[in-house]
Structure 1
Amino acid sequence: MADLSTTYLGLPLPHPIVASAGPIAQSLDGIRCLEDGGAAAIVLPSLFEEQIQRENEALARLTAAGADSTGEASSYFPPKAGVEASSGAYLELVRQARRAVSVPVIASLNGATTDGWVDYAGQVQEAGAHAIELNLFHIPTDLAATGRDVERRYEEVVGAVCAAVSIPVAVKIGPYFSAMGEMAARLVTAGARGLVLFNRFYQPDFDLDRMLVAPTLDLSSPAEIRLPLLWLAVLHGRLDASLAATTGVHSHVEAAKYILAGADAVMSTSALLKHGPKHLATMRQDLEAWMDEKAFTSVAQIRGSMSQQRVAAPSAFERANYIRILNSW
């Protein structure tokens, strides 16, 4: 029987299949279901930078409302109920999850600036999170912004958050950098202990009947693994950081491919929304069966065995393979 154990962000896991950030983990019952279903670790849903900013602004308005009052009138200050609803509830979810399950609990913070994150990252750590997944999502719509401006912004956020906590921080990013490899290395230098490839940026659609910009949400499909597969294979063995794969993990097939490319952990949400948390156990069992069939003894044995550094033809990951693919059609 193959040994599926792995290590992600320094956290020992019994197998590499992790429940990524998603709606199932919005409640304590859902978190328990994910553990019962077989998750090796659980990434909580994201708390968004905008939520923190709105709460800070609301608190500032309430404080200013009593600025002209005397000390004796302090009882007339407006109540603070609801000001910290989102962030306070999130910290409580982290605390409850830490007590309720035995698998690692990873908090997720989604933002693009340092506003509010430094202090809040420390609170997430105090609440008991084993690690933080920093989900960086920024659309540079300012035509004057340069690529280096965007990259520096990412580095500043990562550096500030990593300096504020002692628990490991993984950075979840998208692939839209001119030099993805260099950017990955810069984020690790800034303090990231891991990289999660890749963020699926939800893009708007147009509603032609109502003539509105409509937000859309499509679940991932296995066909989407190819871009993260490429970069995992390129980055494996070249960075002093954990690598996690997300997007398109619906079965043991995608999990195996990601591990062969170099992933320490593979993350899934769409498949769990389709099939339920018990699908985690199915993927683990099928991965184990596949490894036994191939006579592989452990995840450690196969991890990165098809990365660019270890395949017989490294050019398969470069432009040289482009013409071959086109001609094969």
Structure 2
Amino acid sequence: MDLKTKYLGLELNNPLIVSACTLGHSVDNIRKLEDNGAAAVVLPSIFQEEIEGHIEDIESILAESGAEATTYLPPSIADSSGPQNYLDLIRKARAAVDIPVIASLNGTSLTGWTDYAAQLEEAGANAIELNVYFLPTDLSLTGQQVEQRYVEILKAVKKAVKIPVSMKLSPYFSSLGHMVRQLDAAGADGFVLFNRFYQPDIDLEELTLQRDLNLSHRGEIRLPLLWLGALHGHVKGSLAASSGVQTAKEVVKYLFVGADAVMTASALIRHGVGYMKTLLDGLKLELEQREIESVSRIRGKMSRHAVADPTAFDRANYIKILQGAPRG
């Protein structure tokens, strides 16, 4: 059975990628994920604010203690200032595994995006995933200004590095398809659909905002399923599915609508790194039961332009669903 696929121009043994999560902080985990069948791993995001906040803390210590304090800084602090820990993680992961290691970058300024992207490339990352976690809570921003920010970030990073660059996007654009095609034209090597924004809740007892990590569930597959099916065949860049992968069935569904790769984190956090083998074995079994010898045979077979009734992706289907709802 041929499970090989190509993502961001990288040859992968199968479509299963570990998406950015805490499991990627450990080289040990990354080795185990490879042993259990992961075809690539996206490291946890490096955040510009976190790096620069750490540097500011050190500079504050030095300002208060005098320049001679540099000789007394604990090595653990001095060595981890800036992005050094993350760059070391890339180097160690690349040395430890044969699968591609993809860095994930979240910047706040164009300089931050490009400077850190160049360092990630130099450290040996096979590709960079731009995690543009930007919530336009400034009510004066127009939709066009928000979209232009994404395009500018991509162009700046593409100019700064030679390795492939993907965009991890949220679904919250007024015209997602147009946004993706803009980024595709600007040189994006691929797209990850979708980023899950962590939104606050309210603790009514303490009257404080809460921020919890909510793992995805299989019901979340539907929105990326729709858009992957609509975009397949209409962009040059690779398409990766993210969110809702709990079993091999979700993996197969994503492949049917046109995903080149399928990412998961929540399932691995829930069940452990060994669950990657369960997903891979499940994918093989699903294909065997359908007498399919290659993932390329099913990719895009149920995308919007391939199905007999494309209205299943559109508003007409919404009307049918409502009309078929119980009335009692």
Q: TM-score range by the shorter chain?
A: over 0.9
**Alignment partner of 2:273: what SS?**
coil
Q: How many percent of aligned residue pairs carry the same amino acid?
A: 50
Q: Which residue of 1 aligns with 2:281?
A: 285
Residue 228 (structure 2) pairs with residue 232 (structure 1): yes
Q: Which residue of 2 aligns with 1:41?
A: 40
Match of 2:203 among 196, 199, 207: 207
Match of 2:297 among 298, 301, 323: 301
In the TM superposition, residue 314 of structure 1 has moved relative to its aligned partner by 1.0
Kept after mapping to 2: 8 A contact 1:173/1:198: yes
Q: What CA deviation, in whole Å up to 9, does each residue of 1:22-72 have, x standing for no partner?
A: 111111112112112211101101111212332454577689889xx9xxx
**Cα distance in 2 for residues equivalent to 1:304 and 1:76:** 60
Note the residue ranges of structure 1 that are not aligned, 5 or more in a row. Answer: none
**Cα distance in 2 for residues equivalent to 1:124 and 1:107:** 7
In the TM superposition, residue 187 of structure 1 has moved relative to its aligned partner by 1.2
Kept after mapping to 2: 8 A contact 1:43/1:107: yes
Q: What CA deviation, in whole Å up to 9, does each residue of 1:89-128 have, x standing for no partner?
A: 0000000000001111001112353241211111111111
**Cα distance in 2 for residues equivalent to 1:227 and 1:98:** 33
> Which stretch of the first structure deviates more once superposed, 53-62 or 192-201?
53-62
Residue 65 (structure 2) pairs with residue 99 (structure 1): no
Q: Which residue of 1 aligns with 2:17?
A: 18
Residue 34 of structure 1 aligns to which amino acid in structure 2?
L
Kept after mapping to 2: 8 A contact 1:53/1:115: no
In the TM superposition, residue 76 of structure 1 has moved relative to its aligned partner by 6.8
**Cα distance in 1 for residues equivalent to 2:150 and 2:298:** 32
* Paired residues for 1:1-329 under 5 Å: 2-55=1-54, 57=56, 82=77, 84-85=80-81, 87-329=83-325
Residue 316 of structure 1 aligns to which amino acid in structure 2?
A
The number of residues matched between the two structures is 322
Note the residue ranges of structure 2 that are not aligned, 5 or more in a row. Answer: none
Kept after mapping to 1: 8 A contact 2:62/2:69: no
**Cα distance in 2 for residues equivalent to 1:61 and 1:190:** 40
The structure-2 alpha-carbon separation of the partners of 1:59 and 1:122, relative to structure 1 and needing over 3 Å to count, comes to farther
**Cα distance in 1 for residues equivalent to 2:82 and 2:228:** 34
Residue 36 of structure 2 aligns to which amino acid in structure 1?
G
Alignment RMSD: 2.0
Query: Normalized against structure 2, the TM-score is what?
Result: 0.93
Q: What CA deviation, in whole Å up to 9, does each residue of 1:275-303 have, x standing for no partner?
A: 11111111111111111111212111110
Q: What CA deviation, in whole Å up to 9, does each residue of 1:113-169 have, x standing for no partner?
A: 324121111111111110011111111111111111111111111111111110001
**Cα distance in 2 for residues equivalent to 1:57 and 1:79:** 17
